[in-house]
Amino acid sequence: MQYPNLDDIGRRPQQYWNVDGLPEVIMGLLWMLWGGAWLFGETLPHDWRWNLYWMFTPLVLVLTGCAAVWATKWLKARYTFPRTGYVDWKEPSRATRLAAGGLALVTAMILVTILRAGGDARQHTAPVLGVILSLAFVVASIRQRAPHLLALAGVALALGVALGSVGGGWTTANWLFVWLGAASAVVGVVRLARFIRKHPRPSLGEA
């Protein structure tokens, strides 16, 4: 008698959650909003009337984060659940595991190099954030069995290095969120289109 793999069963909801590209779309739009909000605030004059913007901006960011979770669940209930209901768990290939390990090693080496570098620490904000986000995508890709997240890990690393060479401190860090959010939204839209094409909504007679 073959007993079920409880770890595999416990991870199935994660696979189901990432099957349609909606989380990447919502996350990308949210990061673009967050980065854009801070960039817009940096253009405002240093006047007491504009201080209200900075007072309410953190609250707005928190509320939009909560709204993003609600929006993702609502969209999945409307577009994903009627089409699939369950998604088979796919084991990562050997090539995917090697790519994840190699990318994690490279990002770790870059992070050590950045932290050991001298100069104004603010100039390293974008590279450090890029490396951290890249590692986060690698870990999420392995844990959730989602190879497409490795592409976003590469984008985060490339943006961090590119923006770090420009300088600009926190400004480039905000641009990192904007461009990485745009990349995430594009990946999500492509995956969502493929998902809808592969899983058409059943007609009433088939339900």
Residue 65 in any domain: the answer is yes
Q: What is the CA radius of gyration of the chain?
A: 20
Residue 123 in any domain: the answer is yes
Residue 89's pLDDT band (cuts 50, 70, 90): very low
- What's the pLDDT tens digit per position in 19-52? 788 889 999 999 999 899 888 888 877 776 677 7
Is the predicted pLDDT of residue 14 greater than 60, yes or no? no
What total number of domains does the chain contain?
1
Residue 5 in any domain: the answer is no
Residue 61 in any domain: the answer is yes
Contact between 201 and 82 (Cβ < 8 Å): yes
**Range with lowest mean pLDDT among 4-18, 92-106, 125-139, 150-164:** 4-18
Q: In Å, how far are 20, 63, 193 from 77, measured between CA atoms? A: 12, 21, 17
Class of residue 198 by CB neighbours under 10 A (exposed 0-12, middle 13-18, buried 19+): exposed
Q: Where are the beta strands (DSSP E) in the chain?
A: none
Contact between 41 and 58 (Cβ < 8 Å): no
User: Cα–Cα distance between 41 and 28 in angstroms, integer?
Assistant: 20
Which candidate, 25, 75, 17, places its Cα nearest to that of 189? 25
Higher pLDDT, 100 or 76: 76
According to DSSP, residue 80 is labeled I
Residue 206 in any domain: the answer is no
Residue 9 in any domain: the answer is no
Report the chain's terminal Cα–Cα distance, integer Å.
34
Higher pLDDT, 112 or 72: 72
Domain assignment of residue 134, given as a range? 17-85+93-198
Residue 12 in any domain: the answer is no
Which pLDDT score is estimated for 132? 83
